[in-house]
Structure formats: C-alpha cells, structure tokens
Amino acid sequence: MTLRIVLLGAPGAGKGTQAQRLAATHGLVHISTGDMFRAHLKQGTELGQRVQDYLSSGRLVPDDLTCAIVTDRLVQPDCAQGYILDGFPRSAPQAEALDAFFTDNGQKLDVAVDIAVADEDIVDRLSARRSCPACGAIYNLKYGPSKRGGLCDRENCSGELILRDDDREETIRKRLQVYHQTTAPVIGYYGNQGILKTVDATGLTPDDVFARIEEILCGLKGA
Ligand code: AP5
Ligand code: MG
C-alpha cells in the first residue's frame, strides 16, 4: 500500500522524530519543509536568503514559496513509493494547494495525524533539543541524549550536535503563537475531510507515540 501521510503538531510536538522512524519502517520519503529551508540556508542559495528572516524570527515563510518547494519535491520519482509530510501544510491556503496537487496528479492523502502536546511541554523540550547538522538526527538532553555527549551517535556519523537557531525561548514562543493562529485551523480542515487522527502525546515517550501511530496505520491497511 502506498501511504501518503501528513504529520501535524505544534513546534516541538515530535513530528521530525516520528517522521524519521515512520520513513525508515515503511520505506517512505520524509519531506520536512523546515529541513529543506535550513538546507537552503546552509548552502546560501537565493531561496535560503529569502527565507532566512522568517526562520530566525519564527514566522511562516510565504505560502507561494512554500507550496512551490513542496510540489517540486512531490513530483520526484522517489515519491511514488509514498511519503510523509512533516511541517506542511501549515495554513489553510497550503492545505488547499496540496489538495489541488492531489487532484491534478490523481493522488489522495491517506491520513493526517495530529501529534497533540501541551504548550508547557514545548518550551522545555525545544530548549533541550540538539540536532545533528550532518545527518539530521534529533536528540534531547533530557528525553533522549546522544550516547556520545555532544557528538551524533548514529552509525557512520560523528556530527557535532547543535542547538537550532530558532530554539531560543523568545522564538519558540513566537512559533507557538503562529501555530495557534495559522496552523491549528488545518486540524479542522482534515477533520472535515474525515481523515484526521489525533494522538494525545503529552507525557508519552517517543516509543509510545510511535506505537500509537503504527496502530493508526494498521487500521488504514485493514480498512
Ligand atoms: P520546522 O523545522 O518544521 O519546525 P517546527 O514546526 O517548529 O517543528 P520542530 O522541528 O521544531 O519540532 P518537531 O515537531 O519536528 O519536533 P522534534 O521531533 O524535533 O520549521 C521551522 C521554520 O521553517 C518555521 O518556523 C517556518 O519559519 C519555516 N517553515 C517550515 N515549514 C513551513 C511551512 N509549511 N510554511 C511556512 N513556513 C514554514 O522534537 C522536538 C524535541 O522533543 C527533540 O529534542 C526530541 O528529541 C524531543 N521529543 C520528541 N518526542 C518526544 C516525546 N514524546 N517526549 C519527550 N521528548 C520528545
Ligand atoms: Mg521538525
């Protein structure tokens, strides 16, 4: 079964953590708009320069730029095996643009999974997040540290772990505000389509959240 999944959730809800595991388990392509923008920033491309201020201040990149980067990615041949969208769509116009892409390409979304976490937990989690700039692995000083301290412990990687630029308290609070104003309505959008599943992840470990999502995917296969 070719799966097409959207992962919804506030900043720090665990979208990237779960998307990496789901991609590895089900052979899906992991598409994170945040990771794509950060890669452009790192490479110093024109797009990177255009999005820099948005990322560092925690505001959303304009919909036209974001939708273009996603639809360009979705037509790549590897996406025929199925994919997980992590951090997209994040506004009603983005959700509508994704539906237009599906209509044009004879595809459909199987499920939108909302990973729900209380705001109080977000700042705590994100200020302790450490990321590997080399391979993208995600760690947490409190909830899932690297076994090698400040270095990535994935096989064949020894990247030096960093605190993401936007994981500073003031920017985290701005991202949360943007989430509640602009992104939370996307949950209702998929609810109305009847393809929304919610995982209440407050207080759950990453393993527990993964198990809940796997149950949801099993239900789809059995449907
Ligand atoms: P993006 O990179 O998508 O950031 P985000 O949505 O703010 O989400 P995060 O990546 O911070 O969190 P996550 O949910 O992936 O959590 P993670 O798994 O890392 O976007 C960055 C910026 O790019 C945006 O602000 C915007 O400017 C721009 N952008 C991106 N997409 C856009 C779009 N569609 N439109 C416009 N602009 C866009 O986990 C977080 C931490 O918690 C980690 O340390 C992890 O180890 C830990 N953790 C995970 N699960 C658990 C658990 N169950 N218990 C305890 N700790 C946990
Ligand atoms: Mg992420």
Peptide bond into 93 cis (omega under 30): no
Which residue among 4, 38, 90, 212 is the active-site one?
Answer: 90
Query: What average pLDDT does the segment 2-23 reach?
Result: 97
44, 15, 172, 201: CA torsion to nearest 10: -170
Q: Per residue in 57-93, pLDDT tens? A: 999 999 999 999 999 999 999 999 999 999 999 999 9
pLDDT at 223 > cutoff 70: no
Query: What average pLDDT does the segment 33-62 reach?
Result: 96
- Confirm or reject: Cβ of 129 under 6 Å from ligand 1: yes
Residues 6 or more apart whose CB falls under 8 angstroms from that of 63 comprise 91, 93, 94, 97
Tell me the pLDDT of the chain averaged across its residues: 95
Does residue 97 or residue 220 have the better pLDDT?
A: 97
Tell me how far apart the alpha carbons of residues 58 and 174 are, in angstroms, rounded to a whole number.
6
Residue given tokens 């993964």 in the structure block: 210
Residues 6 or more apart whose CB falls under 8 angstroms from that of 180 comprise none
- CATH assignment of 3-117+183-222? 3.40.50.300
Verdict on whether the full-model pTM lies above 0.95? yes
- Please tell me the distance between residue 142's alpha carbon and the centre of ligand 2 in angstroms: 17
Percent of the chain residues topping a pLDDT of 90: 94
Nearest protein Cα to ligand 1, atom 7: 11
- Confirm or reject: Cβ of 7 under 6 Å from ligand 1: no
CA distances from 125 to 51, 66, 96, 120 (A): 25, 26, 31, 9
Q: Per residue in 181-213, pLDDT tens? A: 999 999 999 999 999 999 999 989 999 999 999
Q: What pLDDT, on a 0 to 100 scale, did the predictor assign at position 1? A: 80
- The answer to whether the beta carbons of residues 81 and 28 sit under 8 Å apart is yes
